[in-house]
Amino acid sequence: MITKWIGDFQAANTYPDEEVVFDVLCGDFNFDNCSPDDTREQNHCLFEEYRDPCRAGPGKEKPWVIGTLLEQPTLYEDDTNTPEDLQRTLETEELRKHYISPPVPAKDCPLVYPETGQPWVGRRIDYILYRENSISKHCRTEIEEMTFITQLAGLTDHIPVGLRLNVIMDSD
């Protein structure tokens, strides 16, 4: 439904002489790309239309990705209550395992996580997605930077994410 609403909004609010140069969808989606319990959502058709720069495929994150959901009981501990400490914690896999929420297993199925040779990521429920099939034919977008922001340490159980897109216009 969200893609329909976005399409309806764009149709109602775009003037004929305007060029759409980026199309971004972001927010707390309340599911992750690592939990066996979220398999249905990981395979949603939304990911055929929008690109997730953190996602290698359904149920598999890119190796540099970190989870974005902190465990509630550890929110105010020394390792996570300042931006600098939270950044250090997120950069250290052993600390991340203690503070980022782990995947949710499927009902009646033991959880094996992570797969052999893969880093421990944890639950990433905050997304920034983008698509190109809805933008002007005279431009394209490239990802310049994907960031995990620690400035709100101690204020929220979410780790905000940022995305910098470079919009490249045709020379015509």
Annotated catalytic residue: which of 44, 98, 138, 158?
Answer: 158
Catalytic residue flag (residue 44): no
DSSP 91-132: H-HHHHHHHBPPPPPPTTS----S-TTPPP-----EEEEE-S
CA atoms within 13 A on the CB side of 122: 22
Using CA atoms, how far apart are residues 143 and 124, in angstroms rounded to an integer?
19
Which residue numbers are catalytic? 158
